Amino acid sequence: MLIKTTRLIAVIACALLPLSTTFAQQNQTQTRQTESQWVDFSGFKGKIFDIKNRDPIELINILQPLGSGFKGAIMKSNSEYKTITVRDFPENLATIEEAIKRLDVPLPPKPQPLRPTYPDIEVFAYVLIASNGEGDGAPSPPALADVIKQLQMTLNYKSYQLLTSIVQRTSFENGSIDANGTADLPDKSLTGKYALQIAINTPGNRIDPSQIALSRLLFQMEGFKETSNGTRGLGETKINTKLQVRDGEKVVVGTSSLRDKAVILVLTTRMLK
DSSP labels, 75-93: EEEETTTTEEEEEE-HHHH
At residue 44, the pLDDT reads 92
Residue 249 φ/ψ region, left for φ over 0, alpha for ψ in the -120 to 50 degree band, beta for the rest? beta
Instruction: Sort 262 into a burial class: Cβ within 10 Å, 0-12 / 13-18 / 19+.
Output: buried
Mean pLDDT of the chain: 78
* Helix residue spans in 64-208 (DSSP H): 90-103, 145-154
Q: Cβ(147)–Cβ(196) under 8 Å?
A: no
143 SS3 class: helix
At residue 83, the pLDDT reads 95
Residue 144 is given by DSSP the state G
Task: Write out pLDDT tens, residues 4-36.
Answer: 445 544 444 454 445 444 444 555 555 444 444
At residue 154, the pLDDT reads 87
pLDDT winner (highest mean) among 4-8, 81-85, 181-185, 189-193:
81-85
At residue 88, the pLDDT reads 94
Task: Write out pLDDT tens, residues 159-174.
Answer: 888 888 899 988 777 7
Give the pLDDT band (50/70/90) at residue 134: low
* Helix residue spans in the chain (DSSP H): 2-36, 56-63, 90-103, 145-154
In this prediction the pTM is 0.55
Least confident span in 44-53, 86-95, 198-207: 198-207
The torsion of the CA quartet 132, 136, 142, 143, rounded to 10 degrees, works out to -70
Q: Give CA–CA dist 265/240, Å, rounded.
A: 11
116 SS3 class: coil
* pLDDT reading at 236 higher than 90: no
At residue 17, the pLDDT reads 47
The torsion of the CA quartet 41, 47, 48, 49, rounded to 10 degrees, works out to -120
CA angle at 46 for the pair 43 and 48, rounded to the nearest 5°:
165
Burial string for 47-80 (b: 16+ CB within 10 Å, else e) reads eebebeebebeebbeebeebbeebeebebebeee
Structural domains of the chain, ranges and CATH numbers in brackets: 45-103 (3.30.1370.120), 120-272 (no CATH)
pLDDT winner (highest mean) among 26-30, 59-63, 235-239:
59-63
22 SS3 class: helix
